[in-house]
Amino acid sequence: MSWSRRRMLAGLSTLPSLACSRLRAERHPPAVPPGVQVSLPVVHRSDPEGGPRLYLVEDHALPLVSLAIAIRAGHRAEPTPQPGISGVTASMLLEGMEGGSRTELLARYGDLGASPGTSTGPSLLVLGCTVHRDDAEAVLSLMAENLRSPTMDATAFDRTLREHTLWPTVARGEPALVAGLGLLSASLGLESPGASLGIGPPRRLEQLDPETVGAFLRGHTTRGEATILMAGDVDEQRARTLVDRALADWPATPEPEPTSSSSPPQATGQGASEGPVRSRTVLVPWPTLPQAFIAMGGPRAPYGHEDEPAQAVASTLLASTLQYELRTRQRSTYAVQSRVWQTLHGDVLQLWVRVDPEATRAAVRAVRDQLRSLTGDRHFSEQVVAEVRTSLEMSSMLGFHGPEATLGELVRLASAELPADTPQRRLAWLRDVDARRVAEVIEHDLADDRWCWCVAGDPEALRSAGAALPEDGRLTRTPEALLGLA
């Protein structure tokens, strides 16, 4: 049968927890109802000569359209001496139009029922919102004007710059983030992992001025560098018409920038020229931290790569196994959490837990024991693997549940300029993942001798962890160094 969104959401509540100790056949969740078939919507992509590119998903269930203009002004486009300029530029877009204020700009959006937002990533700077279909043309034109003529008022710029220069100091108090940066340092061999996420050191950000930021933006607001993303109640012909009208006044090619404003961007992103850190383990001293943060993981294939679905299944199984071991058996943590970092140097899988300092050694040892056990087990239960596949299939479908969620999926496609059929191809690859393939991935990608670590904690926690962590190549980094504050 074909699952509707309503059936899919109802089905999520019945999924098993996958809390299995060693994934043996005798420990498996209830059977999945036979014949479950998840389908994804069709993504339309058009690439007219001279741009702009269009990604579109039609969804006529509601009279809403989520739309965005993305330009290739992400962190990879940042000039070498100006890390963080992309984020500052994105923030300035919401400070007002040229000659106007933030209040006036938001009022113009509000009159159309829109609330704009910006984001930046390795490749793109994105301005987007959701509106009624009847206002889509007016809002898209307003966003195009917003990108071409934002305010560079000195007062607004100083306020924005101050927020960005203070952010690393605020992040200094977030142990989960600091531990994640330590894991990036170990996984990618980076001296300054914050730069791989577009975090500009305050001393560099303070050198920016409105003219430099304006020149950076103008150099990327061209039809050739723009991608329009739409999801909702609009067909392809109408979408193309809206795009052509909105960006009619945009130049076709980049405008020349003053030679003093930048130097050529690095081809492989900030920090690529740094020498590798010869360590798979980073220790972060944090004397006042009441609990230790243990982050672990390593490089992962990006979305759209054939290996990524199998890695997703394997990492989900691993997280479930560790959850059972650390929470149910040891009772040393509440949950094993996971995320995937998207950096200038590739994607990195991170699992992390919080434990009391005296439990750090036992937790690290348990993780390493599970890694060794899993890499030596070539006989995973096909039923367990099938359960994880179904869960991930449903997650894929949930990613297209409604215009706003769908817009996020389109941003992911546009970031890597992926083909329109990538979601369907990924779903097919996911369905082909079996127990044998999972065993191969675990043996190669999750092996103990490839696993990277970061432990942040007080002296007792670091001593406790040190007794169980790999002995070769440990590195000690302070939170300030990881955040670019040192």
Q: State pLDDT tens for residues 357-397.
A: 999 999 999 999 988 888 776 667 899 999 999 999 999 99
Asked if residues 243 and 65 have their Cβ atoms less than 8 Å apart, the reply is no
Beta bridge partners of 292: 355
pTM: 0.86
DSSP alpha helices (H): ranges in 72-199?
Answer: 85-92, 102-111, 136-148, 154-171, 175-188
The encoded tokens of residue 486 equal: 């040192």
Task: Determine the average pLDDT of the residues in 258-268.
Answer: 36
Per-residue confidence (pLDDT) for residue 410, from 0 to 100: 99
Per-residue confidence (pLDDT) for residue 34, from 0 to 100: 59
Per-residue confidence (pLDDT) for residue 365, from 0 to 100: 94
Which pLDDT band, with edges at 50, 70 and 90, does 24 fall under? very low
Closest CA to 387 of 5, 20, 40: 20
Dihedrals phi, psi of 256, to nearest 5 degrees: -65, 140
Q: How far is CA 255 from CA 153, 252, 265, 412, in A?
A: 22, 9, 16, 27
Per-residue confidence (pLDDT) for residue 278, from 0 to 100: 55
- Residue 285, pLDDT above cutoff 50: yes
DSSP secondary structure string for all residues of 415-451: HTT--TTHHHHHHHHHHT--HHHHHHHHHHHS-TTT-
- Residue 464, pLDDT above cutoff 60: yes
The encoded tokens of residue 166 equal: 């203070």
Residue 185 C-beta-side C-alpha neighbours within 13 Å? 31
Closest CA to 175 of 457, 425, 395: 457
Give the pairing of strands 281-285 and 474-476: parallel
Asked if residues 478 and 454 have their Cβ atoms less than 8 Å apart, the reply is no
Per-residue confidence (pLDDT) for residue 303, from 0 to 100: 97
Give the separation between CA 203 and CA 57, rounded to whole angstroms: 43
Element (H, E) at 8: helix 5-12
pLDDT in tens, 114-172: 999 999 999 999 999 999 999 999 999 999 999 999 999 999 999 999 999 999 999 99
Beta bridge partners of 455: 283, 294
Which pLDDT band, with edges at 50, 70 and 90, does 32 fall under? low
Which pLDDT band, with edges at 50, 70 and 90, does 484 fall under? confident
Q: What angle do CA 404, 409, 411 make, to 5 degrees?
A: 95
- Residue 73, pLDDT above cutoff 70: yes
Give the separation between CA 264 and CA 219, rounded to whole angstroms: 12
CA 461, 373, 453, 280 torsion: positive or negative?
positive
pLDDT in tens, 411-461: 999 999 999 999 999 999 999 999 999 999 988 887 777 899 999 999 999
- Residue 240, pLDDT above cutoff 80: yes
pLDDT in tens, 197-238: 999 999 999 999 999 999 999 999 999 999 999 999 999 999
Per-residue confidence (pLDDT) for residue 372, from 0 to 100: 86
The encoded tokens of residue 449 equal: 């001798």
- Residue 193, pLDDT above cutoff 70: yes
Tell me what percent of the residues of the chain surpass a pLDDT of 70: 87
Give the separation between CA 233 and CA 375, rounded to whole angstroms: 48
Q: How far is CA 240 from CA 3, 137, 234, 358, 435, in A?
A: 31, 11, 10, 61, 44
User: Which of residues 22 and 406 earns the better pLDDT score?
Assistant: 406
Residue with tokens 């006989």: 379
DSSP alpha helices (H): ranges in 189-327?
Answer: 202-205, 210-218, 236-246, 308-323
Per-residue confidence (pLDDT) for residue 255, from 0 to 100: 54
Per-residue confidence (pLDDT) for residue 305, from 0 to 100: 97
Sequence-ordered list of residues with C-beta below 8 angstroms from that of 410, at least 6 positions apart, any chain: 43, 55, 57, 68, 229, 230, 231
Task: Determine the average pLDDT of the residues in 263-292.
Answer: 65
- Residue 8, pLDDT above cutoff 80: no
User: Which of residues 35 and 12 earns the better pLDDT score?
Assistant: 35
Three-state SS for 26-51 is CCCCCCCCCCCECCCCCCEEECCCCC
Asked if residues 95 and 103 have their Cβ atoms less than 8 Å apart, the reply is no
Cα 428 from chain centre: 23
- Residue 257, pLDDT above cutoff 70: no
Beta-carbon count within 10 A of 49 CB: 6
Q: Which domains does the chain have, with CATH numbers?
A: 5-40+276-400+410-482 (3.30.830.10), 44-173+198-246 (3.30.830.10)
